[in-house]
């Protein structure tokens, strides 16, 4: 089991250790954050970075000109320069950098002891691949919209589901912690802003630019995205699928 997780300036790290950046991305409510937090608890010594911790301050979030609502789901809401510099520092300098104070709530790992023991056994069976490696899990709703960012990751997992599934999950949430307080979606916010922004920023990854179709060759072959369709997967299944992908792709 790991510590509580954010990267810090004095984390133990030696020159012969390799940082492996694992991206978990996809639309809001696709299961990526839950999976990232669970994997962080299972991978000993792992660290986690949340894109949500790089939002601009609340008063700097863009206002959509059509709806006159703050748009938390567009690229201009995120300080991508700061985020990219941070990830590049991890990737190119191979070091753990400045601490980011996270707004993300702690994970409640809803697994039985038998499940935890099972996944720990699976991870331990790949100890030869994990030796001298630090797994850094990067969780965010917009990690593959720009190839310059996508190319920084060693392993990339793309979670998605159908519109109605995502809408139902998003609308069942109480809200989100922000730098300035707490955000609650106005009624209809998913349909007006969340889904349209997802389509706009991710259509280039899909056949015929239709997010309801399959990932295209650019996404699969160039960006090497590993697809996880999460209509009704359990946490056990999400972890299992993600572990298989991550462990198999470790060099």
Domain spans, the chain: 18-100+109-249
- pLDDT score at 136: 97
- pLDDT score at 6: 54
231 contacts: CB under 8 Å, gap ≥ 6:
161, 162, 165
- pLDDT score at 22: 99
- pLDDT score at 108: 62
- pLDDT score at 157: 99
- pLDDT score at 12: 45
- pLDDT score at 2: 35
- pLDDT score at 40: 94
How many other C-beta atoms are found inside a 10 Å radius of the C-beta of residue 74? 17
Crossing angle of the two packed helices 235-249 and 113-124, in degrees rounded to 10 = 10
The set of catalytic residues is: 52
28 contacts: CB under 8 Å, gap ≥ 6:
73, 141, 166, 170, 190, 194, 198
Under 8 Å between Cβ of 24 and 137: yes
Give 18-100+109-249's CATH code, choosing from 3.40.50.720, 3.40.50.300, 3.30.930.10, 1.20.1740.10: 3.40.50.300
Token pair, residue 148, equals 């310059």
Using alpha carbons, select from 11, 28, 31 the residue that is nearest to residue 19: 11
- pLDDT score at 174: 82
Which SS3 state, helix, strand or coil, does residue 187 take? Answer: coil
| pTM of the shown model | 0.89
| Rounded CA separation 183/110 (Å) | 25
Using alpha carbons, select from 148, 134, 130, 155 the residue that is nearest to residue 23: 155
Under 8 Å between Cβ of 99 and 10: no
- Chunked into runs of 10 residues, the chain (251 residues) has average pLDDT values of 42 70 98 95 94 95 96 97 93 67 58 93 96 96 96 97 97 86 92 98 98 96 97 96 97 86
């Amino acid at each position: 089991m790991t510590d509580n997780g954010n990267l810090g300036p004095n984390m133990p790290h030696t020159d012969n250790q390799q940082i492996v950046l694992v991206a978990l991305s996809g639309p809001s409510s696709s299961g990526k954050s839950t999976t990232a937090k669970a994997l962080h608890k299972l991978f000993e010594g792992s660290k986690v970075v949340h894109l949500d911790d790089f939002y601009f301050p609340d008063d700097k979030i863009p206002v959509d000109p059509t709806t006159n609502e703050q748009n938390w789901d567009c690229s201009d809401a995120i300080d991508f320069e700061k985020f990219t510099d941070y990830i590049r520092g991890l990737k190119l300098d191979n070091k753990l950098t400045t601490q980011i104070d996270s707004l993300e709530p702690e994970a409640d790992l809803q697994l039985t002891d038998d499940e935890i023991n099972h996944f720990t056994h699976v991870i331990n069976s790949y100890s030869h691949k994990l030796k001298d490696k630090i797994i850094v899990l990067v969780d965010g709703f917009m990690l593959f919209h720009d190839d310059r960012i996508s190319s920084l990751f060693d392993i990339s997992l793309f979670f998605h589901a159908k519109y109605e599934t995502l809408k139902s999950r998003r609308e069942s949430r109480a809200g989100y912690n922000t730098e300035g307080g707490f955000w609650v979606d106005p009624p209809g916010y998913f349909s007006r802003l969340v889904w349209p922004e997802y389509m706009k920023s991710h259509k280039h990854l899909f056949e015929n630019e239709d997010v309801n179709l399959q990932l295209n060759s650019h996404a699969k072959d160039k960006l090497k995205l590993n697809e996880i369709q999460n209509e009704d997967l359990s946490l056990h299944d999400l972890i299992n699928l993600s572990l298989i992908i991550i462990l198999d792709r470790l060099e």
